[in-house]
Amino acid sequence: MTDTELTVADGLVVSLDYTLRFDEGGEVVDTSAGQEPLEFLQGQGQIIPGLEQALYGMAVGDEKDVTVVPADGYGDFNPEAFQVVPHDAFPPDMSLTPGMGLHMRDNSGQVFEVYVADVRPDGVLLDFNHPLAGKTLYFNVKIAGLRSATDEELTHGHAHSPGDEQ
């Protein structure tokens, strides 16, 4: 099977043009327009599950609208996923502003992203929810390209851009 006859399946590198909205026909939240398509290795969980599932069987040039509910996207919003952290836990020269993303490390060394919800006199309120948690996502997607993954990409579990040495 040549790359022009492929349809989206596990182990293929997918090049995806997309536009994301929070409501049908609403304001564009994110898009690949004017940029290179998003490239990923299908079946490796590199994109949200609801979108990845919707792509199976699509061919180059196929386009469709995909609605992803929170459970298949970034999860439900957890109102208890907030914590106040003392100011001295941050470098003194760090300017913290609401909405700012931070990479933190837990006691086991796992790195995760949190967001500054508020800067208060008693500390910094951190939000452990993903910014898109609890939101239904409306995508318009088009398969811009498909190719068989290299053995190296399959071993590494992700697509490589031309010139990647990893």
Q: What is the pTM of this model?
A: 0.79
User: Are 40 and 90 members of one domain?
Assistant: no
Q: Please count the structural domains in the chain.
A: 2
Domain carrying residue 118: 82-127
Write down the pLDDT at residue 65. 97
**Are residues 87 and 8 both part of a single domain?**
no
Distance of CA 53 to the CA centre of its chain: 14
CA atoms within 13 A on the CB side of 103: 3
- E strands in 51-159: 63-68, 82-85, 101-105, 111-120, 123-127, 137-148
In a domain, 7, yes or no: yes
Q: Are residues 60 and 27 located together in one domain of the fold?
A: yes
**Is residue 160 one of the residues assigned to a domain?**
no
* Within a domain: 23: yes
- Predicted confidence at residue 20, as pLDDT, reads 97
Residue 106, domain CATH: 2.40.10.330
N-term to C-term CA, the chain: 27
Q: What is the pLDDT along the chain (166 residues), one digit of tens a residue?
A: 545 589 999 999 999 999 999 988 889 999 999 999 999 999 999 999 999 999 999 999 999 999 999 999 999 999 999 999 999 999 999 999 999 999 988 888 888 899 999 999 999 999 999 989 999 999 999 999 999 988 888 888 888 876 554 4
Tell me what pLDDT residue 166 has. Answer: 47
Cβ burial 39-70 (10 Å sphere, 16+ → b, else e)? bbbbbbeebbebbbebbeebebeeeeebebeb
